[in-house]
A and B are shown apart, each in its own frame.
Chain A
Amino acid sequence: MKILVVDDFSTMRRIIKNLLRDLGFTNTSEADDGNTALPMLKSGDFDFLVTDWNMPGMTGIELLKAVREDERLKDLPVLMVTAEAKRDQIVAAAQAGVNGYVVKPFTAAVLKEKIEKIFERVEG
């Protein structure tokens, strides 16, 4: 299971990587915005994408749309972990094809639950 964590704040990337490691996912890579993440996704064999929304350069929602438009990446499970909490934004993310949405600040239990739910649905 290879996971890409995208957030412009290194501390948040580190927190998410730590939580993922506790959940047994040790193969993680990092990117600081969509522009860095997209080429990594296209050239690497990632199984899961965790992304923030608000980032300089390419935002998370733009990255999500780009992933869904890419023939090879369109089925990649995407979890959004973000401080964006407007209803319109959550609806927009759902319409763009997000698989899960976690609002910051979040707990380890919530992150775990959402990730497990996504894999249940992907595998089931």
Chain B
Amino acid sequence: MAALELDDSNSEFDKQFTNMAKELLENLEKKDMAGAVTVIQELQKVRDQSLYNEIGRLTRALHESIKNFRLETANAESPEGGDSELEQASHRLSYVVDMTAKAANKTMDKVEESMPISENIAAEASEISQEWKRFLRKELKPDEFRELVKRVSNFLDQTDQGTKQLNANLSEILLAQDFQDLTGQVINRVTSLVVDVEKRLVNLVAMAGQVDQMTGIQHGEIKSDMAEKFNEERGEGPQMKAEEREDVVAGQDDVDDLLSSLGF
């Protein structure tokens, strides 16, 4: 781990610095000015030397880290082509969007196809039921009865076909949910890449911190107001852990309460 190496070398540098400072103090107490100047020059040399060493080492570590971000092009022979892992990750997420859209559309196709079938069966059953009750009350004339028999016979055929079609559609709706397994696997892979990249970023931040410490550079606060304001207007999409957050509504009831408190 690069971060551990950094700590070690830095404490070596600190130790040398502290020792020399003590020596300088001793020289000053003894009023040995020539000795003190020599120590100061030594100190300067140590600082410069360790700064150069450190920067050299950090440059190598940085280079290594960036390489490890897997931005570089992967094997062009691989099935996913010559893309880097981050590029592959975004392809994978697009694949998830495509798969879920396809599944949603397939499901809606089948539902839209099924609804008229069940509506027709329901309507016909309801009408036949009326006629059947008339028959039970002996209100039907022989002609009407013959008509009813024909109708019942047709209805049974229609129901037989219709329910078979409905069952087939339901099976297809069931199968259309297979995206969950595939997209789940893909998202898990991308998630582990994100975790990996985050770890490496933390490492980079630690390294940058070491450089700042060695050189005495200070940075101003980076303003993030702009990003926040931008999000407010743009929208952020679904909120995670909504139930744990005060600034987010937990559902439609909360929205209704909030709006009615505003006089809606």
Contacts and interface: CB of A to CB of B under 8 A. Distances in A.
Interface residues of A, number: 31
Contacts of A94: 259, 262, 264
B74 interface: no
A86 interface: yes
B105 A86 contact: no
B142 interface: no
A55 B239 CA distance: 16
Interface residues of B, number: 25
B149 interface: no
A40 B259 CA distance: 29
B37 interface: no
B104 interface: yes
A35 interface: no
Nearest to A104: B238
B201 interface: no
A28 B69 CA distance: 48
A65 B232 CA distance: 15
Contacts of A53: 235
Contacts, number: 75
A114 to B, nearest CB: 9
A72 interface: no
Contacts of A11: 101, 104-105, 108
A60 B235 contact: yes
Contacts of B58: none
A29 interface: no
Interface of B: 101, 104-105, 108, 111-112, 232-239, 242, 247-249, 251-252, 255, 258-259, 262, 264
Interface of A: 9-11, 14-15, 18, 53-55, 59-62, 82-92, 94, 101-104, 106, 110
Given A10-B105, A83-B239, A101-B259, 8 more contacts: A11-B105, A53-B235, A54-B236, A85-B238, A87-B258, A88-B247, A90-B259, A91-B262
